[in-house]
């Protein structure tokens, strides 16, 4: 009991081995002792053919929760293999917010049946969640908030709770509303346990805690939770009515997904895609990104093409040009990532962007002196041509300057255009540093070496 | 009250404007109404010269918490500007785990004084946390766990809590220990409120909840919290003694920092560095990464240099070689990022890596056919030389194949060597695709075009 749980990956290995050896019984026990999120990660980590085997093992009452945790692609794959009865059984016990996430992936005809199997109140709740974007506060909320009136005493609340029985998971506070469901504040459960039972809710409630508007984007919700160390928070309509509550577990998922999305989008990938997708699906998916990059590669090659005559006479330029271009890309990417992170954290706008631009230019020139010095000297020695060395030096200085400016400017401009800098920043930047790197080296070479 | 709070970034803008206009009074009020984490983000977002102004405004009782939230670099900068009295006042009210994070940054002489100002129990607690790595369960834990004995009734627990008064923040469960502090399980606070007060703790406690070993790495702790939707968890020594508890707010910070670290390390940056660091500091910091990349750029240039004679005769090769090299880098990066993410999620090891390798090779060849087809045709038309087109086609196929193999192999090998794939994966991969891209195009050109 006191030992750290076995690290997940090694448990996955054990399970995969059991499956290989055909030890089905033992494997099944192990799987059903896992948390739905872990089962989902395990299923995602298997090639498609083996997923069905695991899925058969999962107990029906866990199936719904596992489906919710799976990435979209694997989820629809499994759903398409389930019959209507199974699916209805799986969705039956889900929390309404989880059902809201899942329902869009169900077959049309089934949605109808699932809705009919719900009672009127749950149906209304479901539709109230579906009215909001999945990645907004409204889409994240649950409808299981426990509410109390401001004028009752703590003692009455305690009696009510004991009568009510089991509280929803992660209930750290009750929400205080008036007769018209208007949100007034929250009262911590620990307050109920420690304060004078004769006090009224109104006396002890925390009315400074603001309700979150249902339209608030999920990342904004995550920041609120992080900054205020919340476990749950109220979602409140523009008219002040309590709509539901958001709990930290869903916020943690938002933070994790947001982080994954930004890394994956740097390579034009989608974090909801199946890592074990088939060859054709994967190839088609990556083709767009590769095409975009191919176009920019042609652009850069075109610049080189303009200087064919120069290269023919001074071949050394062809040898050195990848260095000039790639060093610009490397230095520029450092600036780019720094700025993108600052934008995500809300730490950069107009007023301090200028400060950063100047700092980056200075850093670029300072490191440029070193890099250009080394490469220039090396080039001079290598090709025994000092004029060439000076030209390489100058081209590198120009490109590192361009890299600094592009590293600050590209993400700011993309953001203003409404394009995700994490997605398009890298391609745009390296296109700029490639073009300027090639043009400056070959251009200076044409001017001074021919 | 019911409106969404003003987005953080726009509040930052307002504040920065107030400072520019010299509206100090209003700015000060705004700052002290913010959460310490927000104040920390604001301070980080200001150029160094302006930080002191804000810092002067922060109320003394908030200073400690703000220091904890700041990144290491800005923190030491501010600490170095504070006198001993201020620092002791700031650290006085900190939770012990926060103090443990901070204490290493204090001047030697002051550490002595801070320790002396603590009572014996707190001093012992502090040293018990400092015994563990900061990024382990032991380093994350707090010592404010509220414990109960298994043989008492709920009614007694309720009386005890009311006598005890205020509970620590994010107390969602009490921990059950015997007379020797041996950890037996947990009991939810909501259980206390809803179950029969005559029952004993032993009857209602959840003994299936495992304690976390203090050596567990922070990312492993984060996965446990995510998979089991925890709000708090017990840290338990190898002998079974309850050491402390970890709360979700610290786990959220771990998840956020881990995500930032992986993005930043892709560009050789450190997430604890000050975004507004001075020119010389920034330049020196980035020099290592740039030097590493410079070395690999020379390696690639050296390959080109081996084919000078070929380029002199067929200049078109110099024009096309950046395309061959960069397309390999792009396709390889997609594979690389996919594999790195799989490794982080614990979804990839030996058995399925082979499956992924074959899939990536197939995807590479399939997309290769399209890319190589387009580029080969374009090259043939551009330079009116069909032999050149065929050679470009072949070189691209070779490089995209190499990219697929390197994209899968590089992160696996780096991981086995104990090197962070996020840090070194990109450089290694593009070095491989550059070298193979240049060598295959120029090599084939030498064989067939001269």
Count other Cβ atoms within 10 Å, centred on residue A144: 18
| Chain A neighbors of B264, CB-CB under 8 A | 337, 341
- Which tens digits make up the pLDDT trace of A63-72? 999 999 898 8
* Interval A130-172: pLDDT, tens: 889 888 999 899 888 999 999 999 999 999 999 998 899 889 9
pLDDT for position A157: 96
Q: Where are the alpha helices (DSSP H) in B7-141?
A: 8-21, 24-32, 36-44, 48-57, 60-69, 72-80, 84-92, 96-103, 108-117, 120-130, 137-140
- Written out in words, the top-level CATH class of the domain with range A8-131 is mainly alpha
Whether A196 shows a pLDDT value over 80: the answer reads yes
Q: Does A171 contact B190 at a Cβ distance shorter than 8 Å?
A: yes
| Domain A279-449 CATH (choose: 2.10.109.10, 1.20.120.420, 1.10.1040.10, 1.10.357.20) | 1.10.357.20
Distance from CA of A117 to the nearest CA of B (A): 28
Q: Which pLDDT band, with edges at 50, 70 and 90, does A113 fall under?
A: confident
Whole-angstrom distance, CA of residue A34 vs CA of residue A317: 60
- A-B Cβ pairs (cutoff 8 Å, strict): 403
DSSP3 helix / strand / coil % (chain B, rounded to 5): 70, 5, 25
Q: Among A299, A213, A298, A109, which Cα is nearest to B7's?
A: A213
Place A364 in a pLDDT band, splitting at 50, 70 and 90.
Answer: very high
Helices in A266-420 by DSSP H: which ranges?
279-305, 308-313, 316-344, 350-383, 386-416
Q: Which residue of A has its CA nearest to B263?
A: A263
pLDDT for res B98 = 83
Q: What is residue B10's predicted lDDT score, i.e. its pLDDT?
A: 63
Q: What band does A60 get if pLDDT is binned at 50, 70 and 90?
A: confident
- B3, B249, B371 member nearest A290 (Cβ): B371
Question: Which carries the bigger pLDDT value, residue B89 or residue A309?
Answer: A309
Stretch A213-234: mean pLDDT: 92
User: B209: nearest CA in chain A?
Assistant: A1
Q: What is the mean pLDDT of chain A?
A: 89
B174 DSSP β-pair partners: B187
pLDDT tens-place string over residues A237-284: 999 999 999 999 999 999 988 888 888 998 899 888 888 888 999 999
Task: With CA atoms as reference, report the closest residue to B191 among B181, B201, B183, B182.
Answer: B201
Neighboring chain B residues of A8 at a CB cutoff of 8 Å: 223, 227, 346
- The alpha carbon of residue A109 is apart from the nearest alpha carbon of chain B, in Å, by 33
Cβ contacts (< 8 Å) between B348 and chain A: which residues?
A: 45
* CA atoms of A157 and A154, how far apart (whole Å): 5
For residue B200, report the phi and psi dihedrals to the nearest 5 degrees. Answer: -95, 160
- pLDDT exceeds cutoff 90 at B417: yes
Q: Which of A133, A288, A155, A295 is nearest to A218 (CA)?
A: A133
The residue among A189, A193, A288 with the most chain B CBs within 10 A of its CB, best to mutate, is A193
Between A304-318, B53-67, B98-112, B233-247, the lowest mean confidence (pLDDT) is in B98-112
CB A242 within 8 A of CB A211: yes
Q: Which residues in chain A are closer than 8 Å to B183, comparing Cβ atoms?
A: 1-2
Given a contact cutoff of 8 angstroms between Cβ atoms, the answer to whether A34 and A45 are in contact is no
Q: How far apart are CA B283 and CA B273, in angstroms?
A: 12
CB B333 within 8 A of CB B426: yes
Cα→Cα distances A227→A140, A305, B43, B88, Å: 18, 54, 15, 25
Q: Where are the domains of chain A?
A: 8-131, 147-265, 279-449
Pairing of strands A242-247, A232-236: antiparallel
- Minimum Cα–Cα distance from A214: chain B residue: B4
pLDDT above 70 (res A6): no
Q: Write down the pLDDT at residue A448.
A: 94
Chain A residues closer than 8 Å to B438 by CB: 322
- pLDDT (average), residues A440-448: 96
Hey, are the CB atoms on A331 and B268 less than 8 Å from each other? no
Residue written as token pair 């709990």:
A247
Q: How far is A369 from chain B (nearest CA, A)?
A: 11
State the average pLDDT over residues B119-143.
86
Residues 6+ positions from B354 with CB-CB distance below 8 Å: none
The domain A147-265 having CATH identifier 3.10.580.10: the answer here is yes
Rounded CA separation B85/B124 (Å): 23
| CATH entry 1.25.60.10 includes domain B8-129 | yes
In this complex, do B286 and A38 lie within 8 Å of one another by their Cβ atoms? no
Task: Please name the helix (run of DSSP H) or strand (run of DSSP E) that holds residue A64, with its range, or none.
Answer: helix A60-69
Does B322 have pLDDT greater than 90?
Answer: yes
Q: Do B315 and A311 touch (CB under 8 A)?
A: yes
Q: Where are the alpha helices (DSSP H) in A94-247?
A: 96-103, 108-117, 120-130, 137-140, 154-164, 189-194, 201-204, 218-228
Q: Which residues of B touch A293 (CB under 8 A)?
A: 326-327, 330
Q: Are B8-129 and B147-265 in the same CATH fold?
A: no
B359 to chain A: which residues are within 8 Å by CB? 276, 278-279, 282
Nearest-angstrom CA–CA distance, B91 and B402: 55
CA distance B245 to chain A (A): 14
How many other C-beta atoms can be found within 10 angstroms of the C-beta atom of residue A134? 14
Between these two residues, B324 and B210, which has the higher pLDDT value? Answer: B324
Say yes or no to pLDDT of B349 above 70: yes
| CA-based nearest residue in chain B for residue A430 | B326
Q: What is the pLDDT of residue B239?
A: 92
SS3 A340: helix
Q: CB distance A322–B438 less than 8 Å?
A: yes
**CA–CA gap between residue A158 and residue B189 (Å, rounded):** 12
- Closest residue in A to B313 (Cα) is A312
Whether B432 has a pLDDT exceeding 50, the answer reads yes
Is the predicted ipTM greater than 0.85, yes or no?
yes
Q: How far apart are CA A192 and CA A153, in angstroms?
A: 10
Q: Which residues of chain A neighbour B211 with C-beta distances below 8 Å?
A: 1-2
Q: For residue A7, which residues of chain B lie inside 8 Å, CB to CB?
A: 220, 346
Beta carbons of B323 and A249 less than 8 Å apart: no
């Amino acid at each position: 009991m006191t030992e750290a749980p076995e690290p997940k990956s090694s448990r996955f290995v054990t399970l995969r081995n059991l499956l290989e050896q055909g030890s089905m019984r033992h494997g099944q026990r192990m799987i059903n002792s896992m948390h739905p999120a872990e089962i989902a990660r395990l299923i995602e980590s298997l090639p498609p053919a083996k997923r069905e085997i695991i899925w058969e093992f999962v107990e029906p009452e866990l199936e719904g929760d596992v489906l919710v945790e799976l990435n979209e692609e694997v989820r629809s794959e499994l759903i398409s293999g389930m019959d209507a009865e199974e699916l209805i059984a799986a969705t039956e016990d889900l929390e309404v917010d989880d059902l809201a996430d899942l329902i869009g992936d169900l077959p049309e005809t089934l949605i109808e049946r699932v809705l009919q199997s719900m009672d009127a109140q749950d149906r209304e709740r479901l539709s109230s969640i579906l009215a909001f974007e999945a990645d907004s506060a409204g889409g994240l909320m649950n409808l299981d908030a426990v509410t109390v009136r401001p004028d009752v005493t703590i003692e009455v609340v305690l009696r009510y709770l004991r009568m009510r029985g089991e509280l929803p998971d992660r209930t750290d506070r009750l929400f205080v509303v008036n007769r018209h469901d208007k949100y007034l504040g929250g009262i911590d459960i620990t307050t109920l346990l420690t304060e004078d039972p004769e006090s009224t809710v109104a006396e002890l409630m925390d009315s400074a805690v603001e309700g979150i508007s249902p339209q608030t984007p999920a990342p904004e919700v995550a920041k609120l939770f992080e900054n205020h160390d919340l476990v749950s928070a109220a979602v409140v309509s523009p008219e002040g009515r309590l709509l539901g509550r958001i709990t930290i577990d869903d916020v943690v998922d938002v933070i994790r997904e947001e982080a994954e999305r930004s890394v994956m989008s740097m390579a034009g990938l989608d974090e909801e895609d199946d890592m074990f997708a088939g060859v054709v699906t994967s190839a088609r998916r990556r083709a767009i990104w590769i095409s975009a990059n191919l176009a920019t590669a042609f652009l850069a090659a075109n610049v080189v093409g303009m200087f064919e005559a120069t290269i023919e006479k001074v071949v050394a330029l062809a040898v050195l040009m990848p260095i000039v271009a790639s060093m610009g890309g490397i230095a520029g990417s450092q600036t780019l990532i720094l700025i993108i992170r600052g934008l995500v954290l809300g730490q950069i706008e107009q007023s301090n962007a200028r400060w950063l631009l100047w700092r980056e230019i200075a850093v670029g020139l300072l490191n440029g002196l070193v890099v250009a010095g080394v490469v220039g000297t090396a080039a001079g020695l290598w090709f025994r041509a000092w004029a060439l060395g000076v030209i390489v030096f100058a081209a590198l200085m120009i490109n590192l300057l361009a890299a600094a400016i592009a590293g600050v400017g590209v993400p700011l401009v993309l953001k203003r255009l409404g394009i995700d800098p994490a997605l398009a920043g890298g391609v745009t930047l390296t296109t700029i540093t490639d073009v300027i790197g090639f043009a400056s080296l070959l251009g200076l070479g044409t001017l001074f070496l021919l």
